[in-house]
Homo-oligomer: A and B are copies of this chain.
Amino acid sequence: MQSGRIENGFRLTKVGVTSVIKPVQVARPNKVVTLTATFDVFVDLPWDRRGAHLSRNLEAITEIVDETVRNPVYSLEDLAAKICVKLIEKHEYATHGEVWARADYFLEKVTPMGRKGLEAFKLVARANARRAGRIEVRKSIGVEVVGMTACPCAMETIREDNPVYASLKGVPIITHNQRNRTSLVLEEPDGHDIEADDLIEIVEASMSAPTYEVLKRPDEGRLVERAHARPRFVEDVVREVLGRVLDAHKDLPDDVVVKVKSESEESIHKHNAVAERVATLGELRER
Interface, chain A (partner B; CB < 8 A):
1-2, 8-23, 33-36, 40, 42, 45, 47, 50-52, 54-55, 58-59, 62, 104, 106, 117-120, 146, 148, 152-154, 156-158, 161-162, 164-165, 171-179, 209, 211-218, 220-221, 223-225, 227-228, 233-236, 238-239, 242-243, 263, 265-279, 284, 287
Indicate if the CB atoms of B269 and A18 lie closer than 8 Å. no
Indicate if the CB atoms of B157 and A218 lie closer than 8 Å. yes
How many chain copies?
A: 4
With the chains together, A225 CA to B238 CA distance in Å?
28
Contact of A277 among B10, B20, B59, B162 (CB under 8 A): B10
Other 13 A-B pairs with CB < 8 A, given A174-B175, A175-B224: A1-B156, A12-B235, A12-B238, A14-B275, A17-B269, A54-B273, A153-B217, A176-B227, A177-B267, A178-B178, A209-B268, A211-B266, A211-B268
Indicate if the CB atoms of B214 and A287 lie closer than 8 Å. no
Query: Which residues from B are CB-within-8-Å of A11?
Result: 277
With the chains together, A239 CA to B48 CA distance in Å?
11
Q: Determine how close the nearest CB of chain B comes to the CB of A46; give it in whole angstroms.
A: 11
